[in-house]
């Protein structure tokens, strides 16, 4: 049994939110690129204000998406973005809060993984998970000598969890695409976001532990915001039919 949803969010409001998110993200990136060596300047303050603001706006996109895939999926995705917001704040502060920031993002990835497991078995298509773990293992090997002893354990845990989330997102998208499932569009968007998250994390890790990347803030933040955006967009169904019980 299905009913037609009347709780759709007007397209103009979605477009407006997208525009404000883009402005905040661009401002955050410009602030990071143009900040000087001083602990505080106007560009750094712009970055501090707009970096979390962009994430808050993406969180709003996920929370307000209608019709949602399910209430459960929306809650887990929103929780993951909220954890990412906490990680944003911790990593941008002048203090060295790398490990707390890493833990915040770790819990975020666990939330995303929980969302993806709501309608797909873990490793439903194992090759995607194996590929994601393989990529993460290669990256860890390349960076291992540059990672301090105190950071190695939390980094290892993170390197297991992040590709688990990414691999599951890819496996889920592949499963739905093969079945011709109505959820395949949202699953595809989640998979794009998960892959972009892995790319952003790789750029951040390479820049922090191995060698400076020119314009690193541009590449790290642009891929990060795109990752969150696509994951948030996966909350909304592509059709206007809400299955009875889907919001349970």
Q: Is 9 inside any structural domain?
A: no
Which pTM value belongs to this model? 0.90
- Structure confidence at residue 239 (pLDDT): 67
Q: Is 126 inside any structural domain?
A: yes
- Structure confidence at residue 3 (pLDDT): 38
Please state the domain count of the chain.
1
Q: Is 36 inside any structural domain?
A: no
Residue pair 231/186 in contact by the 8 Å Cβ criterion = no
Low-confidence ranges of the chain (pLDDT < 70): 1-9, 239-248
- Structure confidence at residue 123 (pLDDT): 87
Q: Is 48 inside any structural domain?
A: no
Find the domain containing 183 and state its range: 69-241
- Structure confidence at residue 243 (pLDDT): 43
Q: Is 11 inside any structural domain?
A: no
Instruction: Express as a percent the part of the chain with pLDDT over 70.
Output: 92
Torsion sign over Cα 224, 226, 232, 234? negative
Q: Is 39 inside any structural domain?
A: no
- Structure confidence at residue 9 (pLDDT): 63
Q: Is 98 inside any structural domain?
A: yes
- Structure confidence at residue 242 (pLDDT): 42
- Structure confidence at residue 6 (pLDDT): 39
Q: Is 248 inside any structural domain?
A: no
Give the C-alpha distances (Å, rounded to integers) separating 37 from 34, 70, 102, 151, 214.
10, 47, 25, 26, 16
Give every CB contact of residue 170 below 8 A, 6+ residues apart in sequence: 125, 128, 129, 131, 132, 191, 194, 195
């Amino acid at each position: 049994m299905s009913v037609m949803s009347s709780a759709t969010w007007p397209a103009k409001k979605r477009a407006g939110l997208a525009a404000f998110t883009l402005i905040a993200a661009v401002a955050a990136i410009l602030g990071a690129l143009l900040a000087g060596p001083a602990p505080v300047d106007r560009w750094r303050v712009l970055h501090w204000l707009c970096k979390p603001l962009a994430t808050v706006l993406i969180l709003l996109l996920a929370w307000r998406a209608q019709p949602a895939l399910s209430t459960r999926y929306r809650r887990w995705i929103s929780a993951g973005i909220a954890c990412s917001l906490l990680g944003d704040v911790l990593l941008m502060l002048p203090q060295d809060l790398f490990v707390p920031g890493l833990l915040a993002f770790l819990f975020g990835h666990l939330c995303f993984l929980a969302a993806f497991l709501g309608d797909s078995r873990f490793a439903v298509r194992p090759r995607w998970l194996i590929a994601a773990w393989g990529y993460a293992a290669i990256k860890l090997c390349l960076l291992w000598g540059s990672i301090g002893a105190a950071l190695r354990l939390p980094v290892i845990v993170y390197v297991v969890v992040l590709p688990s989330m990414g691999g599951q997102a890819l496996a889920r998208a592949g499963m739905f695409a093969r079945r011709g499932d109505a959820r395949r569009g949202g699953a595809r968007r989640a998979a794009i976001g998960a892959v972009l998250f892995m790319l952003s994390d790789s750029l951040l890790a390479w820049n922090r532990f191995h060698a400076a990347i020119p314009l690193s803030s541009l590449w790290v933040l642009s891929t990060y915001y795109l990752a969150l955006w696509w994951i948030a967009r996966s909350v909304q169904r592509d059709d206007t039919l809400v299955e009875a019980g889907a919001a349970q």
